[in-house]
Amino acid sequence: MDYVPHTEKERREMLMSLGRKSVDELFADIDKRLILKNDLDLPPAMSEPELFRHMLTLSEKNGEALHKRCFLGAGAYNHFCPSVVNHIVSRSEFYTAYTPYQPEVSQGTLQAIFEYQTMIGELVGMDVVNASVYDGASALAEAAIMASDITERDEIVVSSTVHPEYREVVKTYCNAHELKTKEVPYDDGVTDSEKLEEAISEKSAGVFIQNPNFFGSIENVFEIEKVCHERGCLFVLSVVEPTSLGMLKPPGEYGADIVTGEGQSFGNPLNYGGPHLGFVGTKKEHMRHISGRLSGMTVDTKGRRGFVLTLQAREQHIRRERASSNICTNQALNALAATVYLSALGKNGLKELANLCYQKAHYACDKIKEVAGFQPLFKAPFYNEFAVRCPVEPERLNERLLERGIVGGFELGRYYTELKDAMMFCVTENNTKKDIDHLVEALGESGRN
């Protein structure tokens, strides 16, 4: 079946009006070598029941995190999502709306975004938080442009303990903005403070740190803050596992100037790596440099409360060419999920959750330490992820774990060539004690050559 709605007659009329004899002639500008000459190699068409069965068979190949014992983190976290989240985000008023920014028709969405900004602002200790961007990586990259605009400097200092994929995105953005990036090595799982001091110059716009960092370790943020501000550059902090904020201080309280992060942990399923949501927050003094949309609370002509987009002059409306960024989109539905999730958990719920993740991860680490050949890689304190040295190749170990229904840890050698024998485990509230014991047992069996 052909899905092109035009009739043969309509096509002839269009070609005639364009002065072309055939569709091929219309595309004559395309290099002949690029044009496909045979039909696509596709299996014959299926009936609906056949297709249904086919898709079902394909979907059964998926390894759904809840069906496995999953110990994989490294930027996407397997947290439990309360049913209320899906219930609210599945309301068609929310999920069918595209770019719902017009205040006349979008009070509900704008209010939800406002609540989201307020909650994230409180968690990270920032005065202003945007309506969200694509993900944690693009959020950090937006911060690079902001930092350069604020300080009028053109160099970004990034710790090698920042998520490797985030660093790639930051570099891509910086390349287009003609900003230089410098990477700082790590020492015992955290940013090397001596090397950091050496890396900062009078050209440095900001120091980019992730906390807890990619290895799960807690950075020496107080020390880093001092070094940053002594040298006149901004302290930019990325929070990739935001449930950690149920236990750790808000970055604003230890002097971060810009806080960005990934909100997936809050009520968003793993979704094969996306869609997720990124947040960007800053202090009031820098609010005109913040990228993305902001929803603000105001009153109408009759004094009634209402919500509108605010500070729009910064981006595409008036000063497009001068804006820090022209990103106008946001991840409204994902941000809504985060908002409902945080409302459901509340202040104490988030604390309890963080405590659960922390305790379970430390229990797992202690147990794994006892398995012959496995050793923690670093001594730095950690939240819910930790790296261990393995007696067998991490790739092989993961294959063996998968055979036992376990999704193992992240193979650090993929990004850190010096860590080819290391694996990083993540433990959340979704991992029961039984799961952890099962993992430890499986490691004992799989860790032998």
Partner 1 sequence: MNEETPQLRYTKEHEWVKVEGDIVTTGITDYAQKQLTDVIFVELPKIGKVVKKGETLAVLESVKAVSDVYSPVSGEVLETNEALVSKPELINRKPHSEGWITKLRVKDSKELDNFMTAREYEDFVEKEK
SS3 per-residue string spanning 238-252: EECCHHHHHCCCCHH
d(CA 26, CA 34): 15
**Structure token pair of residue 9:** 């007659």
- Find the shortest distance in angstroms from Cβ 326 to partner 1: 15
Instruction: Give the interface with partner 1 as residue ranges (CB under 8 A).
Output: 152, 288, 313, 318-319, 322
Using an 8 Å Cβ cutoff, are 309 and 293 in contact? yes
* Ramachandran assignment for 232, one of left (phi > 0), alpha (psi -120 to 50 degrees), beta (any other): left
d(CA 151, CA 399): 48
Tell me whether residue 247 or residue 328 sits nearer to partner 1 (CB atom): 328
Tell me whether residue 83 or residue 301 sits nearer to partner 1 (CB atom): 301
Tell me whether residue 105 or residue 318 sits nearer to partner 1 (CB atom): 318
Tell me whether residue 206 or residue 242 sits nearer to partner 1 (CB atom): 206
- Find the shortest distance in angstroms from Cβ 289 to partner 1: 10
The amino acid that residue 105 corresponds to is: V
d(CA 212, CA 159): 12
- Find the shortest distance in angstroms from Cβ 107 to partner 1: 23
Using an 8 Å Cβ cutoff, are 211 and 162 in contact? no
d(CA 97, CA 85): 18
Tell me whether residue 249 or residue 322 sits nearer to partner 1 (CB atom): 322
In sign, the C-alpha dihedral spanning 190, 389, 364, 276 is positive
Using an 8 Å Cβ cutoff, are 85 and 340 in contact? yes
Tell me whether residue 87 or residue 319 sits nearer to partner 1 (CB atom): 319
- Find the shortest distance in angstroms from Cβ 428 to partner 1: 44
- Find the shortest distance in angstroms from Cβ 152 to partner 1: 7
Tell me whether residue 193 or residue 310 sits nearer to partner 1 (CB atom): 310
- Find the shortest distance in angstroms from Cβ 225 to partner 1: 22
- Find the shortest distance in angstroms from Cβ 153 to partner 1: 11
In this structure, the chain runs to a length of 449
**Structure token pair of residue 438:** 């099962």
Our CA angle for 357, 339, 270, nearest 5°, is 55
